[in-house]
Amino acid sequence: MPEPVIASVGASPLGRTDLPGRDLFSVALAEAFDELPDPADLVEAVYVGNQSESYEHQIMYGTLLAEWAGLRHVPAERVEGCAAAGALALRHAVKDVRNGEHEAVLACGVEKMTSAGTSGATDALSAAFDRAIEQRSGITAPSQYALLAKRYLHETDATEHDLAEIAVKNHANAARNPRAQFPKEIDVATVLESDPIAPPLKLFDCAPVGDGAAAVLVTTAELAADLDRPQVRVAGSGASANNIAVAERDMTDIAGARIAAETAYEEAGIDAAAVDIAEVHDAFTVCEALLAEAVGFAPAGTGYQSYQTPAERADGWTDVQLSPSGGLKARGHPIGATGLLQALEAYEQLTGAAGDRAVEGAETALLLNEGGVADAVTVGHVLTTAEAR
Amino acid sequence: MTDGDLDATDPRTLPGFFDALADGELLGGVCADCGQVLLPPRPACYACGSRAVDVEPQSRKGDVFSYTAVHTPPPAFAADAPYTVAVVELADGGRLLGRVAADYADVAIGDPVELTVHEPTAAEREVALDYETDWPVHVFEPR
């Protein structure tokens, strides 16, 4: 069975941009193929992570981006799973290469979130939640996660101050990431004094709205070597759906994330302790705490210590470094592109291209991408250096 | 797999569920194999996969399991903000999300509440899809 590897990555600028989605993609693709043959000479299939047609009144994103890449007559499709769409696209590409269907597949993601302001994005994102009961009650993405946060603070020793520290840590990481939407440090008071969005979550607990695209080339180890590209192994991939309604789930044991991560660990032949860096889905600060527990980095009730150094954390924590990119919080969260931006960060970290933010000695990464509220759908990938084989 | 012939009068469909709710009856699915309560009722149990789902009236009384306030609403509900939303654990074991008719500051986890139902207001009808127009809207009242 061919072993899938990532052989190249690219991204557009993130945040408020003057480019529509297809043009953001063109920018990301140009970076990814800068040192490669043209896509038409290499790519055999295209998957596009994309959340919503309400931003650009455009579906058929598979067809559109394949064409804009100079490809015609290849299989191409949009993949939908709200904010997990990007990792779902990556997973499809990985499976195609692994099962021998294709030798080179483009996994990409795009979202033009700023087209209708914050209220437009709020409306588009609310479509991810159960329509019959939860949307009709006026629920939003921040308020869904606030329900988890309220419960988490109730059940554990975590405080709003701890959640603020997670945002501070991720902004500090983003300050060393030239790709970040918010490459600047903040302090705890800035978070705690920011506007209420859905208590206990405040503005600075929330990932921003922003535009962005990312492109990732998945291929075989042999082809990547022929192309003389640095390569990162995709050693494991797992995915899991959970209830659509948040009310019916365990709101602090994020089971879908646990299953997606454990499946990816098992395929990779590792356990959680082997993970050096993790890009987890910190759409809201509380997510990083919940996910650290779900994927096996932290004992139950201690995930909020993710901002602390390994020496400071509770017994039973691994030495993992979380969200070296700055995470969704500060690197940015252009919904359909996010899962691929996570892969991009891991690729740069594991190939020695992460510059000032490089985590020394990192050989194994976990990517954890969620869609809907929390684990409505979760995708996990384990990436390792070629040497860790 | 057998489901018989589901139609819009069956409470395992949304029209059937909301018809009963409009009459003040909260119906839940109850898995005949594992006991899981499903709100609203549906043809299959997510907990064990069984399709032996009975439809039974559920207590409208429950306790607040978690709650928040929406300060940045979708455009359809802009006039209501901030409004309180909670996940409520009902006495018969199901959990349901809904608005709470109380200020955020006056709510706490564990507070007793009761589900009430009203006909959709003119504003609620305006943002409803065609087939939702007459569906009732539920709100939890402190008790």
**What string of DSSP letters covers A318-351?**
--PEE-TT-HHHHT---GGGHHHHHHHHHHHHHT
Q: Which structure tokens are listed for B39?
A: 């709100």
Q: Which of B36, B67, B71, B88 to mutate to test the interface with A (most CBs of A within 10 A)?
A: B71
Tell me the pLDDT band of B5, cut-offs 50, 70 and 90.
Answer: confident
A132-to-A48, A373, B22, B111, B138 alpha-carbon distances in Å:
28, 16, 14, 25, 11
Q: What is the pLDDT of residues A142-185, one digit of tens each?
A: 999 999 999 999 999 999 999 999 999 999 999 999 999 999 99
Residue A122 touches chain B, beta carbons under 8 Å: yes
Q: Do A122 and B75 touch (CB under 8 A)?
A: yes
Nearest to A247 among B75, B87, B124 (CB): B87
How far apart CA A133 and CA A247 sit, in angstroms, is 10
Among residues of chain A, what percentage have pLDDT more than 90? 98
User: Within 13 A of B111's CA, how many CA atoms are on the CB side?
Assistant: 22
Q: Which structure tokens are listed for A304?
A: 């909020």
A49-to-A28, A41, A88, B111 alpha-carbon distances in Å:
14, 23, 7, 41
Q: Which structure tokens are listed for A205?
A: 């607990």
**How many other C-beta atoms lie within 10 A of the C-beta of residue A275?**
28
pLDDT at position B4 over 80: no
Residue B46 touches chain A, beta carbons under 8 Å: yes
Q: What is the pLDDT of residues A44-89, one digit of tens each?
A: 999 999 999 999 999 999 999 999 999 999 999 999 999 999 999 9
Domain A4-116+209-226 falls in which CATH fold? Answer: Peroxisomal Thiolase; Chain A, domain 1 (3.40.47)
Read off the pLDDT of each residue in B33-38 and give the average, rounded to a whole number.
98
User: By 3-state DSSP, what share of chain B in percent is helix, strand and coil, each rounded to 5?
Assistant: 20, 35, 50
Element (H, E) at A28: helix A21-32
Q: What is the pLDDT of residue A264?
A: 98
Q: Do A198 and B68 touch (CB under 8 A)?
A: yes
How far apart CA A303 and CA A293 sit, in angstroms, is 5
Q: Which of A135, A137, A155 to mutate to test the interface with B (most CBs of B within 10 A)?
A: A137
| Lowest mean per-residue pLDDT among A98-107, A222-231, A320-329, B122-131 | B122-131
Q: Do A137 and B132 touch (CB under 8 A)?
A: no
Q: Which of A143, A144, A206 to mutate to test the interface with B (most CBs of B within 10 A)?
A: A143
**How many other C-beta atoms lie within 10 A of the C-beta of residue B25?**
14
Contacts of A110 (CB under 8 A, 6+ apart): A21, A22, A24, A25, A28, A48, A49, A50, A61, A65, A212, A213, A214, A334, A336, A337
Q: Tell me which residue has tokens 């860096």.
A: A277
Q: What is the pLDDT of residue A387?
A: 75
Nearest to A247 among B76, B80, B97 (CB): B97
Read off the pLDDT of each residue in A88-100 and give the average, rounded to a whole number.
98
User: What 3-state class would DSSP assign to A119?
Assistant: helix
pLDDT, averaged across chain A: 97
Angle at alpha carbon of residue A313, lines to A312 and A316, rounded to 5°: 135
Using an 8 Å CB-CB cutoff, list chain A residues near B109: 150-151, 154
Sheet containing B37-38, strands listed edge to edge, beginning at the edge strand earlier in sequence: B37-38, B27-31, B53-57
Q: What is the pLDDT of residue B128?
A: 95
Q: Determine the distance in angstroms separating the CA of B102 from the nearest CA of chain A, rounded to an integer.
A: 14
Q: Determine the distance in angstroms separating the CA of B111 from the nearest CA of chain A, rounded to an integer.
A: 14
Q: Determine the distance in angstroms separating the CA of A199 from the nearest CA of chain B, rounded to an integer.
A: 6
Using an 8 Å CB-CB cutoff, list chain B residues near A133: 39-40, 96-98
Read off the pLDDT of each residue in A216-225 and give the average, rounded to a whole number.
97
Nearest to A138 among B14, B74, B94 (CB): B74
- Which amino acid, residue B115? L
Q: What is the pLDDT of residues A242-264, one digit of tens each?
A: 999 999 999 999 999 999 999 99
Q: What is the pLDDT of residue B2?
A: 60
Q: Cα-atom radius of gyration of chain A, to the nearest Å?
A: 19
Residue A248 touches chain B, beta carbons under 8 Å: yes
Q: Determine the distance in angstroms separating the CA of B71 from the nearest CA of chain A, rounded to an integer.
A: 5
CB–CB of A123/A373 below 8 Å? no
Q: Tell me which residue has tokens 């994927």.
A: A295
Residue of A nearest to B71 (CA): A197
pLDDT at position A19 over 60: yes
User: What 3-state class would DSSP assign to B109?
Assistant: coil
Angle at alpha carbon of residue A272, lines to A267 and A273, rounded to 5°: 130
Q: What is the pLDDT of residue A371?
A: 97
Angle at alpha carbon of residue A24, lines to A22 and A29, rounded to 5°: 90
Q: What is the pLDDT of residue A132?
A: 96
Q: What is the DSSP letter of B91?
A: T
Q: What is the pLDDT of residues A261-317, one digit of tens each?
A: 999 999 999 999 999 999 999 999 999 999 999 999 999 999 999 999 999 999 999
Q: Do B46 and A243 touch (CB under 8 A)?
A: yes
Q: What is the pLDDT of residue A1?
A: 83
Contacts 24+ apart (CB under 8 A), B115-118: B115/B26, B115/B60, B115/B61, B115/B62, B115/B88, B115/B90, B115/B139, B115/B140, B115/B141, B116/B60, B116/B140, B116/B141, B117/B21, B117/B22, B117/B24
Q: What is the pLDDT of residue A388?
A: 60
Q: What is the pLDDT of residue B1?
A: 66
Residue of B nearest to A243 (CA): B46
Domains of chain B plus CATH, in order, are 1-58 (no CATH), 59-143 (2.40.50)
pLDDT at position A140 over 90: yes
Burial class of residue B106 (count of CB atoms within 10 Å of its CB; 0-12, 13-18, 19+)? exposed
**What string of DSSP letters covers B1-13?**
-------TTSTTS
Q: What is the pLDDT of residues B54-104, one digit of tens each?
A: 999 999 999 999 999 999 999 999 999 999 999 999 999 999 999 999 999
CB–CB of A161/A153 below 8 Å? no
Q: Tell me which residue has tokens 């939702």.
A: B132
Strands B83-90 and B61-70: antiparallel
Total residues found in chain A within this entry: 389
Q: What is the pLDDT of residue A386?
A: 83
Helices (runs of H) and strands (runs of E) counted in chain A: 12, 12
ipTM score: 0.97
CB–CB of A119/A261 below 8 Å? no
Using an 8 Å CB-CB cutoff, list chain A residues near B76: 123, 138
Residue B99 touches chain A, beta carbons under 8 Å: yes
pLDDT at position A389 over 70: no
pLDDT at position A339 over 70: yes
Q: Do B109 and A137 touch (CB under 8 A)?
A: no
Q: Which structure tokens are listed for B143?
A: 């008790």
Q: Do B73 and A122 touch (CB under 8 A)?
A: yes
CB–CB of A276/A364 below 8 Å? yes
